[in-house]
Amino acid sequence: MNGAGGVILTSVLLFAFALALYATRLETRDLTREEMEIASAASALAANDLRDADGRFMPLFVRSASGNGLPPLPVYAAAVSQRVWWMSPTRIRWVAALTGAVNLVLLYILARRVFDSAALAAVASILLLLTPAYVTYSRSVTQDGVWQLPFVTAWLIGFAAFAERSTAPRHWQLAAAVAALGAAIYSAPSAAIMVVILLALTAWIGWRFGIRRNAFLWAGVALFLTLSPAFVWLLRHPAMYADTFGSWLVHPAHIRNPIDWLTTLTNWESLTVIVDVFWDFFSPSHLFVNDQSPGMAGVFLLPMIVPMIVGARETLRAKPGGAGRRVVLVIALYGFVLAGLIGATFKEPRAIQRALVVAIFGALLATRGFESLSDSKTFGARLMVTVLFAAALVQFFAWYSHAMLAANPT
Amino acid sequence: MAGIVVFTSMLYLKDLGRAPVYLGWDEARTAMQGYSLATTGRDMTGHPAPLFFHITDPLLPNHESVTWWQPLLFYLTAAVLRVAPLAMWSVRLPNVALAVLNVWLAYAVARRLFANSWYAVLAALMLALTPAHFFFARLAQDYFLPQTFALLWLWCLLRYLQSDNAWLAAAAGFILGAGLYTHISSWIVMPFYLAVTNVVFWFSGKPRRANVALCLGFGAALLPMAAWLPYHPSLLQDMFTNYNVATTLKLSERLNLYWEYFNPSYLFFSGGADLMWATRFAGVFLLAIAVLLPCGIWAIRQRQFSIPHALLFVGFFFAPVPIVATLPDAPEYATARDLLVIPFGVLISVAGVQFLLSNRRPLGRVLVALLLVSIPVEFASFARDYFGGYQLRSAFRHDFLNVRGVVESVIATDTATPVPAVYLSDDLSAGKVVQWQFHLTTHKRPDLWDRTRYFSIAEFKPTDIPSGSLLVLNIKDRRLTDLVGPDRCSVVQIVDDVTGTPAAAVLRRN
């Protein structure tokens, strides 16, 4: 089935399947401490007519009982979910499951545009659907996790749409894309640094692909408008800065003294740790083979290593294709590498929950790899595609049944 | 090039007897085995000119041990000690000599890899100014030796590929075989290089006699081992046991370990976690290599791919494999065991310089100029720290007891009032005993060695120890106060280390 009907039907099927996978037996494990913090902040909001612990009405950033600043998206979504599924605290995990499923549909739409193929779009979605780290965070309400991903995918869709129209560019598409990315700062603590990195990538790709200044101007205005609520709110509640962006992005002391910030950042020992954490993020034992995890699953399934490498290689070769496709694949490649910086700036080893955006980029690169392998039309390449897919499914179910459906680990 | 050799010699010889500040226990073993060979023609256990050295505790007669060490450094040290006195500088001299040879070999290899001889000079200079090369050249440890054999092998191989002289193939094989006597990791590295050389010959369309010559050369170097092993059948089993070789898959751990050996934080910033093997203020390489190395890899991969250049890749990426394959104790960032990464990394970086200079844009040339200028600047900073603060920071790792200070204290006490015996705590490792033996020998007091015994703090009985004897133990030992008392012992001296921190306690049996 082609056209809009096909897209809608596939999207619905993907959404339903993702929800079935992500929302199954959510109650088998007790809420973690981090989940409890969000759940109790959400309960407090719901119980106090949308006022936080400090008595602020509909706060943009919510202060938890333990004093941490929480981003609004998971807290408000959890508050709504508690109204809907009030009978069980673990049901707030439905919010993450829904976010994961929505992002999956968005990725399908993006992949349709990038690969110009319903089959490859489905492959991209299935690869993301089965990514262990993505599944894990689509089943838990943590501060960082799956929340910022729909914004990133929306940004990619907008950017691709804008880049494809090289003759008559529609500036509003880039503006919408950048606005979507900017809105991610309301979703998770790590989104602040992620947005900075991806905006820099946008500017670099835009310069490389010859995007006009006018478009950037529109994008800048859109970004400003998106970030304005946060600016205004923090101006009205400056005490909240230290607990939000102060700990997520730039400490207030460093704003007062940027030289001190620069000195701290470029300090030899600090650089040693940051580089170490960055490199370690990409360790194969983190990304692909973790023998501490059921089924030895890493962030990705092990068979994905082959198509991802092939996809990265093909992207570097820059084979002909539409501008939108090239833009997205180049972003996927560089974004994948830059994502390691997110955890590294927090000096937190293997912080996949902060850099879950690699799941999107990895799925896109792997799909490009599968596309390349399928295009070769040799028996060996096709056999490899089949074997890799089958192996991925086997590993996924081995991992999922033990890691996701089992009760609390002892 | 002669200037660089002279410069390297001066740089590497500077304060050799003073930095590192103490002779580590491995170095002390090298020193005493070399000294024993030089003076008696036998190893410390009394075996005449052994092929592999059985490492035992010299205070325990017939000590059972599964530790065997490779012979080459012991014999080189013995050769030096035939003409030089036993001292910290003299036992470190062989590795410094090999380091200077490495610098020349880097030049010779680079001459065959790069068209312009200035690149060869640059390779030599970059190797000389590589922190880890400088650092390990100044330690009397056998980890350093395989680099020389790798460079010699590479030189012979490149010469053979250009000349077809079968003797060079045989020489390459012999060098690989001889390399087996340098360090335990060579038992994996050298056979691998042998296999690689055979593959190179095959890809280069060389006649089969080249492979035969290569293998004959390798086999010739193995003859002494073939003759020696039947008389020491436990050697292989002992080595396997001693290094605690992992036989289980541990895929994730091995993958991670391999990955981490290319961690830029380790290669360019810290150089490893152990202060005995790194200053932690410089990496294995200088920071400029962090740019030049990827440029070199890219340039070789994309522009100059050839068999000789591919060998550089093979050498560079194979360097940590012995550690990953065997998973010995404390395998993470064991810089000493990863030293083969140095010569290959330097040569690849020179390819990076060549690539950047071949770029017609001024940006590439400016970048190269800045990076090359940064090399001596950063090395100077590293060297300043190495000869200064690092010596204080690392003192406890080389010798937490300050055995030299203890020996001086004991000699002073013995001179004032002769002591019946000196008792070392058996909690101190056998390495400490060898350090003790070394410093007694350098102070020309073999009589004190003859009066040295072990004692156990846990089973201390005053009646077992003659009155007036000295006891030596770690100052951090919490049972120290149990030993002190009117009818037990009194403290003669607390020996500080170079930082002024108390390191050892010398007690006298009352």
- Element at B370 (helix H, strand E): helix B362-387
Spell out which residues of chain A touch residue B268, defining contact as CB-CB under 8 Å: 275
The pLDDT, as a whole number, for residue A87 is 55
Q: Which residue type occupies B359?
A: N
pLDDT of residue A381: 86
Does residue B20 have a cis bond before it (omega within 30 degrees)? Answer: yes
DSSP class of B322: H
Instruction: Decide if pLDDT at A45 tops 50.
Output: yes
pLDDT-derived band at A29 (thresholds 50, 70, 90) equals confident
Q: Which residues of A touch B (CB under 8 A)?
A: 268, 271-273, 275-276, 279-280, 282-286, 289-292, 296
Of B255, B266, B268, the CB nearest to A289: B255
Whose CA is closest to B333, among B343, B323, B345?
B323
Low-confidence ranges of chain B (pLDDT < 50): none
Give B484-496 pLDDT, tens digit per residue: 998 899 999 999 9
- As a whole number of Å, the CA-based R_g of chain A is 21
- In the numeric block, the tokens 């009117």 are attached to B486
Nearest chain B CA: its distance from A344 CA (Å) = 12
Residue A149's nearest CA partner among A114, A91, A97, A200 is A97
* Mean pLDDT of the region A196-208: 90
Please say whether the beta carbons of A113 and A37 come within 8 A: no
The pLDDT assigned to A244 comes to 85
The minimal CB distance from A296 to the residues B252, B262, B264 is found for B252
Residue A284: list chain B partners with CB under 8 A: 255-256, 259
d(CA A365, CA A336): 9
Q: Render B98-116 in DSSP notation, one character per residue.
A: HHHHHHHHHHHHHHHH-SS
Instruction: Give the tokens for residue A16.
Output: 């339903």
Minimum Cα–Cα distance from B250: chain A residue: A291
- Greatest Cα pair distance, chain B, in angstroms, is 84
Residue A92 vs residue B25, higher pLDDT: B25
Using CA atoms, how far apart are residues B158 and B284, in angstroms rounded to an integer? 26
Reported as a single tens digit per residue, the pLDDT across A367-400 is 999 999 988 878 888 889 899 999 999 999 999 9
Residues of B in contact with A275 (CB under 8 A): 263-265, 268-269
**Pick from A319, A406, A327: which is nearest to A369 by CA?**
A319
Residue among A96, A98, A191 nearest A136 (CA): A96
Joined tokens for residue B118: 């200035």
Structure tokens at B438: 């070394």
Contact between A284 and B264 using a beta-carbon 8 Å cutoff: no
pLDDT tops 50 at residue A410: no
pLDDT at B441: 96
Average pLDDT over residues A227-237: 93
Per-residue pLDDT tens over the stretch A151-183: 999 999 999 988 886 666 688 889 999 999 999
Predicted confidence band at A66 (pLDDT cuts at 50, 70, 90)?
A: confident
Nearest to A33 by CA among A141, A111, A128: A141
pLDDT at residue number A169: 66
Sheet holding B422-425, edge to edge: B452-455, B422-425, B470-474, B502-509, B489-496
**Whole-angstrom distance, CA of residue B439 vs CA of residue B408:** 9
| Bridge partners (DSSP) listed for residue B470 | B422, B508
Contacts of B266 in chain A (CB under 8 A): 276
Closest CA to B149 of B248, B72, B55: B72
Is A408 a residue whose pLDDT tops 60?
A: no
Residues from B in contact with A at Cβ < 8 Å: 250-253, 255-256, 259-260, 262-266, 268-270, 280-281
Name the pairing type of β-strands A69-70 and A62-63.
antiparallel
For residues A283 and B259, the answer to whether their CB atoms sit within 8 Å is yes
